[in-house]
Amino acid sequence: MIRLQLPEKITTERLLIQRLRYEDADEIFYAYASKPEATKYVSWVTHQSVVATRGFLQYAIAAWNEGMDYGYSIRLKETNRLIGSFGVINENGKIQFGYIFTPTQWGNGYATEVCIEMMKHLKNEKSVFRIGTCVDVENIASMKVLLKAGLVEEARLSDWMMFPNQGRAKDCVLFLLK
């Protein structure tokens, strides 16, 4: 397994991006994990209880330690309020990533800010040979974010991914960092 040397804490102009912790469970649940509008385009089922969020955090912490999946919370620097998360899946140097934000913070440029910063860190990893993500064709906002963060559309794929909160296979756009 190729391990990434990602920092546990990253700051941007407005945000604090740090490794997920067990203590984040309640905030994650109430900020976005329990909200159907926030979880529509993610690869995991909307959490029905804080217990589900705690189970996810157990996985996230173990996966970071094993070098497979690096999960970050995203907080407003000014108030320390949790507003989202960013995840990096490492498949021996092939990177997939995703992010989610609480709906009350959509449209503020935070996703773009986080993606730009995280792309810098991922590009600096010597063992990484590919960085990309797959987005539902209906998720126009995320596609705009990815383009602003320097990714390019590589392909459009029919019936490519099953988004569990939509219940059917969806067409996706594959984005790649060049």
Its pTM stands at 0.96
Distance separating alpha carbons of residues 87 and 64, to the nearest angstrom: 10
The answer to whether the beta carbons of residues 176 and 151 sit under 8 Å apart is yes
Which residue bears the tokens 């590589």?
154
Give the pLDDT confidence of 126-136 residue by residue, as tens digits: 999 999 999 99
Tens of pLDDT, residues 122-178? 999 999 999 999 999 999 999 999 999 999 999 999 999 999 999 999 999 999 999
- Residue ranges and CATH numbers for the domains of the chain are 9-126 (3.40.630.30)
Q: What's the mean per-residue pLDDT of the chain?
A: 97
The set of residues, in sequence order, having a beta carbon less than 8 Å from that of 104 and lying 6+ positions away, is 83
